[in-house]
Amino acid sequence: MSRIAHYLQEHLTGEVTDSLEVRRYFSHDASILEIMPAVVVYPSNENDVRKVVRFSWQLAERGKLLPITARGGGTDTSGAAIGSGVIMSFTAHMNRILALDPKKEFVTVEPGITFHNLQQTLYTHGLFLPPAPATSGYATIGGGLANNSIGEKTVKYGDMRRHTERLSVVLSNGEVVETGPIGKRELNKKLGLATLEGDIYRAVDTLIEDNHKLIEDEKKQLRTLYNRSGYNIFDVRKKGSFDLTPLFLGSQGSLGVITEATLQLARHNPQTELAVISLPDLAALHDILPRIIDLHPSTCEMINKAALQHVNRLNPAQLRGALNHPADAIHLIIEFDDGKEAAQKKALKGLVKLVGQAGGHWLIARNPDERDKINKLRRSIATLFWETRGGASALPVAEDVSLPLDRLTDFLHQAHRAYANSELVPAMWGHAGDGVVRMQPLLNLSQVGDRQKLFKVSDFIYKTAVTMGGSISGSVGDGRVRAPYMGHVYGPEMHKLMLDIKKIFDPHGILNRGVKTASANEVKAAMRTDYHHARHEHLPYS
């Protein structure tokens, strides 16, 4: 065991390992990057987390760097769940529900619980946590908070931020803070603290004061519903209250380590109306998308023809019976979950009318069997992750952009063209109702030509999204992969302000070093030569 691993194990209740096999597993997340960690730690409580972070801070004060990456399910596609120092894996022990109040509809959890496991408990109380990502079986609440995740229900219920009431966070020096909205008197107390927490409140307050106009102007320019680029300084000061929570949400573990969260839940209605609609072309989508949103669906997901063809080739049985018109250009999965059955029926009738006028087709789930088939269709996209053909894999790059809804189809047109120009299959899907598009071109990372295509397509996709008033990071943060493009989303002044925020919270640069700050050369240096998304767990027995 290395000296560091030995020292940490002596001081922690949870396990520490520097085994090569375990480190190799944690050198990957779902992104195209790889970074080998020095040590993997499975904290068993907040105190363990504090000790590791404090240790790293003390080393940094002596000029030695041991960065810390918090990790949940490792499904991050931006290269933010990997790092060279300590990987702190929360799924082994810190995965409990600490309190549940079904009447007030709140739950308090540790970060390592998966969305799936939490939902199973919540369903038994007629509740659920809406912003669950497509990866719910593996993705954790900690990862969901750190990416401020969205999911298929976001179109109606919003993102993680909307459902986050309070956080416990370990700061970069090991101090623990509680976040949540505070009034003027409480803020004054915080501003007077002689701790890192006090430093942070003072510096953030001054930064907002000094850059008020810049921040307000930027707010007006961002036309997307969801933007995960940089740090959310925009919502810290609101209607007489001050709240650091928005900064931690979407910060990808680069400002603090979340050890506990209190979340607001929603009532779950399993009796829904579910349908797939198929549209002949993107023009039809452009015409009816805003009118579908007016019907208040609880799900509005899209998948294009090329993505379906991909899935079909890989697993022909998966989509049988789920679609009557697979050759149509684009398909939307729509669900209505209103508590009143009559309201659902009315919305469904409205949907059918709209689709008929647009020359499209629809398939309504009339029985459990048909529901299962449509649900299979909505989950089929995950199949793409397993694809490898002649050394090529479906890579999560040039993905996850968000657009203003009125520019979505224009963007899809241009992205199609860019893919075709590079002889790539334009498989696309996403949260149509939120304007979030995901793509996965089939490329071989060991081939120089394919790497060049990857950079060319990414460059085009990110810049086009920004030109259209969108964001490079729609549901997952910038991570390392998109960090070089953050300057395109924000001008130089705002970009600098984002980097200043990082320095305020993490003056030694130990928390998820490189995330949101990596240069293009650093990204290239960390690229894998092969891509696979291994999903087995290396958890200690306990």
Ligand X SMILES: Cc1cc2nc3c(=O)[nH]c(=O)nc-3n(C[C@H](O)[C@H](O)[C@H](O)COP(=O)(O)OP(=O)(O)OC[C@H]3O[C@@H](n4cnc5c(N)ncnc54)[C@H](O)[C@@H]3O)c2cc1C
For ligand X, what does the binding mask look like between residues 235 and 254, x meaning CB under 6 A? -----------------xx-
Q: Which of 148, 72, 139 is nearest to 434 (CA)?
A: 148
For ligand X, what does the binding mask look like between residues 467 and 496, x meaning CB under 6 A? --------xx--------------------
| Nearest-approach distance from CB 363 to ligand X, in angstroms | 23
Residue 312 half-sphere exposure toward CB, CA atoms < 13 A: 15
| Nearest-approach distance from CB 144 to ligand X, in angstroms | 4
User: 284 or 412, CB closer to ligand X?
Assistant: 412
Q: How many CB atoms lie within 10 A of CB 416?
A: 16
β-pairing, 68-71 with 86-89? Answer: parallel
Rounded to whole angstroms, how far apart are CA atoms 80 and 133?
16
Please identify which residue in 12, 66, 222, 258 interacts with ligand X, judged by CB under 6 A: 258
Please identify which residue in 14, 85, 130, 133 interacts with ligand X, judged by CB under 6 A: 133
Please identify which residue in 28, 50, 71, 378 interacts with ligand X, judged by CB under 6 A: 71
For ligand X, the binding residues in 87-106 under the rule CB under 6 A are 90
Q: H helices within 320-379, ranges in order?
A: 341-357, 368-379
For ligand X, the binding residues in 504-523 under the rule CB under 6 A are 512, 515
User: 92 or 284, CB closer to ligand X?
Assistant: 92
Biggest CA-to-CA distance, the chain = 70
Task: Name the E strands within 436-488.
Answer: 436-439, 442-443
| Nearest-approach distance from CB 3 to ligand X, in angstroms | 25
Please identify which residue in 167, 257, 277, 437 interacts with ligand X, judged by CB under 6 A: 257
Q: How many CB atoms lie within 10 A of CB 24?
A: 14
Rounded to whole angstroms, how far apart are CA atoms 412 and 46?
45
| Nearest-approach distance from CB 130 to ligand X, in angstroms | 12
Task: Name the E strands within 21-73.
Answer: 39-42, 68-71
For ligand X, the binding residues in 385-414 under the rule CB under 6 A are 385
| Nearest-approach distance from CB 261 to ligand X, in angstroms | 9
Rounded to whole angstroms, how far apart are CA atoms 71 and 92?
11
For ligand X, the binding residues in 1-40 under the rule CB under 6 A are 29-30
Give the tokens for residue 36. 């080998």
Asked if 380 touches ligand X (CB under 6 A), the answer is no
Name the β-bridge partners of 260.
168
| Nearest-approach distance from CB 252 to ligand X, in angstroms | 3
| Nearest-approach distance from CB 90 to ligand X, in angstroms | 5
Asked if 80 touches ligand X (CB under 6 A), the answer is yes
Asked if 70 touches ligand X (CB under 6 A), the answer is yes
| Nearest-approach distance from CB 289 to ligand X, in angstroms | 18
Q: Which of 488, 491, 504 is nearest to 207 (CA)?
A: 504
Q: Burial, 290: exposed, middle or buried (Cβ in 10 Å; 0-12, 13-18, 19+)?
A: exposed
Asked if 76 touches ligand X (CB under 6 A), the answer is yes
Asked if 311 touches ligand X (CB under 6 A), the answer is no
User: 301 or 338, CB closer to ligand X?
Assistant: 301
Asked if 43 touches ligand X (CB under 6 A), the answer is no
Rounded to whole angstroms, how far apart are CA atoms 521 and 80?
16
CA 455 → CA 29, 411, 461, 525, distances in Å? Answer: 20, 18, 10, 13
Asked if 382 touches ligand X (CB under 6 A), the answer is yes
How many residues in the shown chain lie near ligand X by CB under 6 A? 39
Q: Under DSSP, is residue 91 helix (H, G, I), strand (E, B) or coil?
A: coil
Binding site for ligand X (CB under 6 A): 29-30, 69-77, 80-81, 90, 111, 133-135, 138-140, 142-144, 146-147, 149-151, 252-253, 257-258, 382, 385, 475-476, 512, 515
